[in-house]
Amino acid sequence: MTIETSITLPAVHPFTGMDVASALAQRVERSGADPFLVWEHGDGEPTTWTYREFGAEVDRVAAGLVARGVVAGDAVMLLLENSPAFLFCWFACARLGAVAIDTNARYVADELAHGLQLTGAVGAVTHEHLVPRLEDSGVPLGWVATVDEPQWTISALRGDPTTLPQRAADPGAPLCVQFTSGTTSRPKAVLYTHANALWGGKVGADHGRFTGDDVTLVHGPLFHTQALSWLFLSTFWVGGTVVLMPKFSVSRFWDVSRRHGCTVTSVIGLMFATVLREAIPEHSYRVWSFGMERPELEAHVRIRLFNAWGMTEVVTQPIVGNLDHPVDVGAIGYAASEYRLRIVWEDGTDCAVGEAGDLLIGGVRGVSLFAEYLNDPEATAEAFDERGDFRTGDRIVQLPSGALMFQSRAKDMLKVGGENVAAGEIERVLMGVPGVAAAAVVGRPDPFRDEVPIGFVTVAPGTDAGALPDAAISSCRERLADFKVPGAVYVVDELPEALLGKISKVTLREWAVARHSEESDEGTPS
C-alpha cells in the first residue's frame, strides 16, 4: 500500500518549501566539514561522520533503496537498535519520499506482524539476530537487509547516487511512523509529516537553547520521540554534534560524556538512580532534560535540569521549564508558547487554578501535532475534541504560580522503565490463555522501573488454577516485548467491580501492592 495522509497543511507555515531532505542538503552546504555524528559503539575507537560525509552516505543508502524498488509512499520498517544505520536509513527514506517505520527493537513476532500489516511495509532493515522475529511474524516482505556489525553500516543498501530521482521538497508528505501505546489492545501508528520533524527540531532547539556548539549525547532509543525529536533533531536543526550510544550504560556514561565534551542529554528516573550512585566528575554538561523540577538533584550533579513534558502525538514539548527561572518543586514546567493548552472537566469546561483536569493540546495537525493514526480513522477522530484539540489522556493541575503539575494518567496506561504500556495490550494476551475467564492488568510501583505490570485473572471451570500463572506469563513472553511481560499474575475468585460494572483498578492496585508486600515478607521473588 502507498502511505498518504488525509490532511493538508496550511498555506502559510514555518516550513514552506522545506522538508527533511532539503534541510539536510542545506546543513551539508553550511556545515559540511563540521562533525555531525559520533558513533560510540564501545568496541574500539568511536567513528565520526561530518555533515558532508553523513549526507553522502545517506545518498548511497537511498540509491540502494531505489535499487530494491522503493518509491515515494512506500513503507520501510526499521527494526533497529541505536546505530548509524538507523539514521542513514531514516534520512534515506526522507530523500525518496518513502516512510520510515520506526519500530521498537524489543517487539516480538506477534507485535511485528501487527506493525507490518498496519503499515504495509515493502521491506525491512534490521540486525541479523532479529531476522528470525520478522520471519516468525508470518508477514511476507519483499526484501530484508541486515546491518553490518560491528561496523554498524549497511553495505547491502549502498547504491549509485547518480540513480536517485529528483524530488521537490514537500513538507506535508508522510515521513515516518512512531508506534505508541494507547488504551487499545494494539499500539497505534502515529504518522509524522516532514513538517512535524522540522517542527520538532526547531522548537526543541528553541526550548533547550541548542546551538551549533552543543554536543548532545543520545543513549535513548531512536524509535522513541524523545531521543529522535527532542535530542537528535534539535541538534541537527542548529548544526551541532550528536554522540550516539547503543544504549545507556552507567559504566560508560561519564567516560563517553567527558571524552567528547557533551553538553546536553536526557535522563529518566532509572538512569538518575544509577548515575547518582557514583561520584560526579568534572564535566561539560550545561543541561539535562528531565521530567520535573528537582533542585536537590541539580545541586548534586551540578547541572541545570530542563523540565519538559510531551508525548509522541505532540512531536516535542508543549509543557516546558524555564532555564532562567525554576518552577515550583515537582512541577513539569509552563505552557509552551507554541501550543494552546487547556485543562478541562469531562464536560469540556475549564478547570480553575488548583483543580486537576484533562489536558488538551491545540496546534496544527501535520506541523505541531501528528498527522493521524495510520489506517485508523476512528481512533484519529476520537483523539480530537470538537475544537480540534488533542486529548492527551493525562490529568494536570495548574498551580497558583502558573506552573503545571502532572497528576495522573487518565488513560489506562502504565509507565514501565520509560516505556508507555497499555494495560489493554497485556489483557488481550492474558484473555487468550486457555483457562482464563477474565483478566485485568494494573501497574505496581517500582523504585527502578516506575511501574511493573501485574495481572489478575479468574479461572474458567475445569482449569488447573495452580498452573495458570506460569502459563499466562509464558504466553506473554511469547507475544509481548519483554518490558510488557507482567512481573506476576495472580489468580482471584473474582475481579472487583466499581460503578457501572467496570473493574475497579484502584482496588487491584491495592491488591498488587499488598501481594508484593506479603511475598517480600516470605522471601518469595516477584
**Pair (293, 374) in one structural domain:** yes
**Pair (374, 506) in one structural domain:** no
**Pair (205, 299) in one structural domain:** yes
**End residue of a domain, out of 394, 426, 452:** 394
Q: What pLDDT is attached to residue 279? A: 82
Contacts of 484 (CB under 8 A, 6+ apart): 416, 419, 421, 425, 426, 453, 476
Q: Percent of the chain beyond pLDDT 90?
A: 73
**Pair (245, 360) in one structural domain:** yes
489 part of a folded domain: yes
406 part of a folded domain: no
5 part of a folded domain: no
Start-end of H helices in 294-391: 295-301, 377-382
306 part of a folded domain: yes
The CATH number of residue 495's host domain is 3.30.300.30
**Pair (365, 451) in one structural domain:** no
Q: Is the pLDDT of residue 498 over 80?
A: no
Q: Which helix (H) or strand (E) holds 145?
A: strand 143-146
| pTM score over 0.75 | yes
356 part of a folded domain: yes
* Cell numbers representing residue 83 in the block: 546505530
Q: Say which range, 51-60, 268-277, 297-306, 322-331, has the weakest mean pLDDT.
A: 268-277
**Pair (179, 277) in one structural domain:** yes
Q: What pLDDT is attached to residue 449? A: 81
* C-alpha to C-alpha distance for 158 and 80, rounded to whole angstroms: 17
**End residue of a domain, out of 335, 364, 394:** 394
Q: How many domains does the chain have?
A: 2
Q: Is the pLDDT of residue 524 over 70?
A: no
**End residue of a domain, out of 343, 362, 394:** 394
pLDDT (tens digit per residue) in 41-81: 988 899 999 999 999 999 999 999 999 999 999 999 999 99
* C-alpha to C-alpha distance for 119 and 136, rounded to whole angstroms: 18
123 part of a folded domain: yes
* C-alpha to C-alpha distance for 421 and 182, rounded to whole angstroms: 8
**Pair (373, 505) in one structural domain:** no
Residue 185's identity, in one-letter code, is S
CA proximity to 396, closest of 421, 426, 361, 364: 361
11 part of a folded domain: no
Residue 257's identity, in one-letter code, is S
If one counts every other C-beta atom within 10 angstroms of the C-beta of residue 13, the result is 17
The CA-atom distances, in angstroms, between 178 and each of 81, 224, 231, 404 are 14, 7, 16, 27
Domain of residue 349, residue span = 20-394
**Pair (377, 251) in one structural domain:** yes
Buried b (16+ CB within 10 A) or exposed e, 187-226: bbbbbbbbbbbbbbbbbbbbbbebeeebbbbbbbbbbbbb
Q: What pLDDT is attached to residue 501? A: 58
The CA-atom distances, in angstroms, between 20 and each of 98, 123, 233, 297, 315 are 12, 21, 10, 37, 15
Q: What pLDDT is attached to residue 113? A: 97
Q: Is the distance from CB of 171 to CB of 139 less than 8 angstroms?
A: no
pLDDT (tens digit per residue) in 278-318: 788 999 999 999 888 888 888 888 899 889 999 999 999 99
The number of angstroms, rounded, from the C-alpha of 43 to the middle of its chain's C-alpha atoms is 27
The CATH number of residue 209's host domain is 3.40.50.12780
pLDDT (tens digit per residue) in 393-420: 888 999 999 999 988 776 678 888 878 8
**Pair (240, 164) in one structural domain:** yes
**Pair (358, 458) in one structural domain:** no
Q: What pLDDT is attached to residue 179? A: 95
**Pair (425, 316) in one structural domain:** no
Give the chain's mean pLDDT: 92
163 part of a folded domain: yes
Q: Is the pLDDT of residue 500 over 80?
A: no
* C-alpha to C-alpha distance for 70 and 60, rounded to whole angstroms: 14
The CA-atom distances, in angstroms, between 520 and each of 53, 444, 470, 515, 517 are 55, 14, 19, 9, 5
To which residue does cell 527540531 refer? 201
pLDDT (tens digit per residue) in 168-216: 999 999 999 999 876 556 889 999 999 999 999 999 999 999 999 999 9
**Pair (154, 241) in one structural domain:** yes
